[in-house]
Structure 1
Amino acid sequence: MYDDADCVLCRVIEDGTYVVWRDDLVAVILNAFPYTSGHVMVLPVRHVGEVEEIAHDEVAPLWAAVAKAVVAIKAGYSPDGLNMGANIGRVAGAGIPGHFHVHVLPRWGADTNFMTSVAEARVLPEALPSSLERLRKAWPA
């Protein structure tokens, strides 16, 4: 069981449906509201909201998982580039400020989904289950 039953990210990890990969310390999940196909979030399994609260033994596995997410996204999507980052606090853009996570997402020269432009809508070329399958197949050993 996870530390915060009200945390949507803890529930996603526990449910497992959108988990690309996980171990005891770190999980990689699909973003349910992606900016583009292949948008994942890398996070500690333990419910922790602030970067300075991440335990020493979680730091290296977290960043190793970020690197593996980059490898999987490059293998699965052949993007022209990637965005990677964390929003700390609501004023910084964190939609879920209570559980630290790093966004990793592919980008292409002509993509249009990164910024919502009309009626808060984004058009994704791939359904979430297809993204999940693609990333799981591309996940490095």
Structure 2
Amino acid sequence: MKVLWAPWRIEYILGHKEKGCIFCDKPKEDKDRDNLILYRGKLSFIIMNKYPYSSGHLMVVPYRHVHSLEELKVEELTECMVLTVKCLKCLKKVLHPDGFNIGLNIGVVASASIDEHLHWHIVPRWAGDVGFMTILEDVRVVPEHILVTYDKLYPCFKGEG
């Protein structure tokens, strides 16, 4: 029998499922570290993915609740792209990835788990980060606690790093 020990997942499995939209609700709170918000722009913000594909998996999210690119105003699109570049710069400086996957999942059939609020994914990648666990067992290994990664990245987003 194969056993994969991932005790942090039980919080998600058994935990309280929040009602409403996390991308609308979390920025209204004054708990950026708890909510994994790294940066707040005028029209959009940067938040860490709580269930990342890799360490440093970030998301750029417009504050306005829209589900398609066509609904965004030019100013919102511009700021989202500027913040995406900011993500790349900080991730390169702090985590030194070998590459990135950047994209949008639009629609449930396109794997959008939060379909109702558009957001960009910025996923840092390293040579060899897809090892036997992913290939053979369809499991990802994230080697660092998310708040440790947050604390590493936060100074860069605040211009201190």
TM-score (norm 1): 0.86
Please give the per-residue CA displacement for 1:39-81, whole angstroms capped at 9, x wherever unaligned: 0000101111111101122111110000000001111110111
Q: Which runs of 4+ in 1 moved over 6 A?
A: none
1:81 pairs with 99, 102, 107, which one? Answer: 99
Which of 142, 148, 156 matches 1:124?
A: 142
Letter in 2 for 1:30: M
Partner of 1:99, secondary structure, is coil
Partner residue, 2:7: none
The structural deviation recorded for 1:14 is: 2.6
Instruction: Name the structure 2 match of 1:6.
Output: 20
- Relative to structure 1, the CA distance from residue 56 to residue 31 in structure 2 (aligned partners, 3 Å threshold; closer, same or farther) is same
Cα contact 1:71–1:140 (8 A) shared by 2: no
**d(CA) in 1 for partners of 2:49 and 2:107?**
18
Is the aligned partner of 1:36 residue 2:54?
yes
Query: How many Å apart are 1:8 and its aligned residue?
Result: 1.9
**2:39–2:158 CA contact under 8 A, matched in 1:** no
CA shift in 2, pair 1:14/1:57, >3 Å: same
In the alignment, does 2:121 pair up with 1:107? no
The size of the alignment, in residue pairs, is 136
Higher Cα radius of gyration: 2
Distance 2:111 2:157 in 1: 28
CA–CA separation in structure 2 for the residues paired with 1:51 and 1:116:
33
Alignment partners' CA distance in 2, 1:78 and 1:110: 14
Task: Tell me the SS of whatever aligns to 2:51.
Answer: coil
Deviations, residues 12-48 of structure 1 (Å, cap 9, x unaligned): 3233321010123110000011000000000101111
Structure 1 unmatched runs, 5+: none
